[in-house]
Amino acid sequence: MRLTTRGRYAVTAMLDLALQPLDQTITLAEIAARQTISVAYLEQLFSKLKRRHLVASVRGANGGYHLARPAQNITVLEIIEAVNESVDATRCDHKGNCQNGAMCLTHDLWHELSNHISSYLERISLADLVDRDNVQTVALRQSSTDDLASLIANQKSVTGMI
């Protein structure tokens, strides 16, 4: 099993959304700045997340994205699967044909591991992640960095330094 950046970034971006006030839409540029993920990459991910009804978008001046349903009703496994990632640890996609069309010696081991990983990720919701102390600490740091960056940008525009 190999979880690529696609799956990791999707979970990170969704967690970022879950940390924001419920009545607020968040732009991909805001998420990109906080999480150091390119806007173009987020656009690809959010297209898939929207198709799976995990996020909803709002157009217009105050547009952006928000969770399509409560954070406690969105699992990490759903997010990973929405962006076409797999938690399958077998080489044969559970088909049992990984060694010249037949099952390999360790197929059952990897199949069971895949099931455990899926089961674990299915039990973890975005709300569970939001409640973790280290997530709150990192979010606070990122928020402070955003506030500082906004303050500096506003100060420069007021003083004409831009």
The domain segmentation of the chain, as residue ranges, is: 5-132
Least confident of 13-17, 57-61, 154-158: 154-158
CATH 1.10.10.10: does it fit domain 5-132?
Answer: yes
pLDDT digits (tens, 9 = 90+) for 62-118: 899 999 999 999 999 999 999 998 888 877 766 666 767 777 888 889 889 999 999
Inform me whether the pLDDT recorded for 123 exceeds 60: yes
H-assigned helices in the chain: 5-18, 28-35, 39-51, 76-82, 107-123, 126-130, 133-159
Q: Tell me the C-alpha distance between 80 and 15, whole Å.
A: 12
Instruction: Give pTM, 2 decimals.
Output: 0.81
Contact yes or no for 85/4 (Cβ under 8 A): yes
